[in-house]
Amino acid sequence: MRYKIVTILTFCLLFIGCKEKKIVTAEVESVQLSPKKNVVFILVDDLGWKDLACYGSSFYETPNIDRLAASSNLFTNAYSPNPVCSPTRAAIMTGKYPSRVGITDWIPGYEAKDAILKGPEDLFEMPLEEVTIAEVLKEEDYKTFFAGKWHLGDTGFFPENQGFDINKGGHHKGQPPGGYYSPYKNPKLSDGPEGEYLTDRLTNESIGFLEENKDNPFLLYLAYYTVHTPIQASKKHIEKFEAKKKELKIGDAQLKNEREAYTVINQYNAEYASMVYALDENVGRLLDKLEVLKLMDDTLIIFTSDNGGLTTRIGDRKGPTSVRPLRAGKGWAYEGGIKIPLLIKKPGQTQGSKINTPVISMDMFPTILEELNLPLRPELHQDGVSLKPVMEGENSSAHEALFWDYPHYHGSGWTPGQAVRKGDWKLIYFYENDSYELYNLKNDISEENDLAQANQDKLEELKQELSSFNKRLNTQKPTRN
């Protein structure tokens, strides 16, 4: 299926100077080249690094995602380039750091009116001038499908304006406007039967696309709204996790101070657990359909999140999940806010592998191209690198350093700042008080032991690295309010 056919036509050679024409005829022959491979990209909203059983959760259950992990490359040090959604989504689409695209906050962002600083102005949509992975694949005759959360611009900047043939549910809102049960109040998704669950519906749409396009190369980009707030239980599964919570004697949320906020340090929320389980159920449905349609051997599958889990909040609001032993969560440049699950299953892969190399969301663009045997486009994916050599054991590293730029306030308690990781070392900078923190992640994954004063040489080295990123990306700084 989907083979390029090369036909060797009959030809003749005339040998000049001979008494008679000698005609050489080659038999007509069809040569089948490798099939074009497909892409299934699953992006989950706010899924924390420890929200899957294969990443260490003992309360949430994810048997289907674990099944995918067993035949995938599981990355233990995968990062989003920003601790909130819109910037990371732009980075995946373009292969560029969010600062380079001009989107450094969720759209339209959080304004802290009485704060010391005012965040820089950033874009409310991904520019049409950016060339997305969908547009590149369309150039190669791929059918492109988007379902779920977009959050990269309003009318004129929707998925269908950025390279996708079909858009089911992608619009400017960052969470489902009608919640997770129909009616959805979504201008890009018709309402289903009363009580239909949004996670089920988006999977139904995706399965329908697979059935209609099984004979064409395709990009299926499924960006679930779950597990973003509002936390609304899957009615099919809530009793299971309420019972499990009692069985395990899990009480209410346990909290730890994080500056002016509080971080949840235990997975306690049965409603959230049911949402994760519904997600897993639907990932399983999608995998099963790929098997039934005999597409698994020809399909690259990527499963990841847009930022860390929602664990840290100001006041008496409790985050619905925990990613301990990582520090903080969504909105923070500590590990809990930027470390994410990442599974990449190469076409035909059957054996799983665990990879500790630090990687970042921009790497998905060139990785997709190289896995599809398409030319890399470094002028586009300027900040991403293909992970194919890492997955095949040819390279043990992908980036010399990684960078995070979040010069805005966030409702989780974060104040404007930046971070950089180089090797095992990570530097965090806060604009308000012009202060630095330094951590050795190999020895201190929880970022509890600040070594900025004890290791001045490493501090200066990473400060120079931070400065280099700022110059290269022309980052915008906050100003006095």
Helix axes 238-247, 270-292, angle to 10 degrees: 130
Residues 6+ apart with CB under 8 A from 333: 83, 404, 406, 414, 417, 418, 419, 428
User: Looking at the domain assignment, is residue 454 inside a domain?
Assistant: no
* Per-residue confidence (pLDDT) for residue 17, from 0 to 100: 40
Range of the domain at 141: 38-400
Q: 432 - beta bridge partners?
A: none
Q: CA-to-CA distance for 98 and 362, rounded, in angstroms?
A: 9
Judge whether 144 lies within some domain.
yes
Q: Which of 81, 83, 157, 168 is closest to 124 using CA atoms?
A: 157
- Chain segment 273-313, per-residue pLDDT in tens: 999 999 999 999 999 999 999 999 999 999 999 999 999 99
Beta pairing partners, 417: 406, 430
pLDDT per residue as tens digits for the range 318-333? 999 999 999 999 999 9
What is the pLDDT at residue 481? 86
Q: Looking at the 3D structure of the chain, how many domains does it have? A: 1
Is residue 28 a part of any domain in this protein? no
Sign of CA dihedral 203, 208, 213, 214: positive
Pairing mode, if any, of strands 339-345 and 299-305?
antiparallel
Please indicate, yes or no, if residue 185 is contained in any of the structural domains.
yes
On whether residue 407 sits in a domain, the answer given is no
Confidence bin at 34 (pLDDT 50/70/90)? low
- Establish if 417 belongs to a structural domain: no
Containing H/E element for 277? Answer: helix 270-292
When mean pLDDT is compared across 26-30, 124-128, 167-171, 475-479, the lowest value belongs to 26-30
**At residue 408, does pLDDT exceed 80?**
yes
pLDDT (tens digit per residue) in 354-391: 999 999 999 999 999 999 999 999 999 999 999 999 99
The CATH number for 183's domain is 3.40.720.10
Q: Check pLDDT > 90 for residue 412.
A: yes
Q: Tell me: the pLDDT tens digits for 221-234?
A: 999 999 999 999 99
Inside any domain, residue 371: yes
pLDDT exceeds cutoff 80 at 27: no
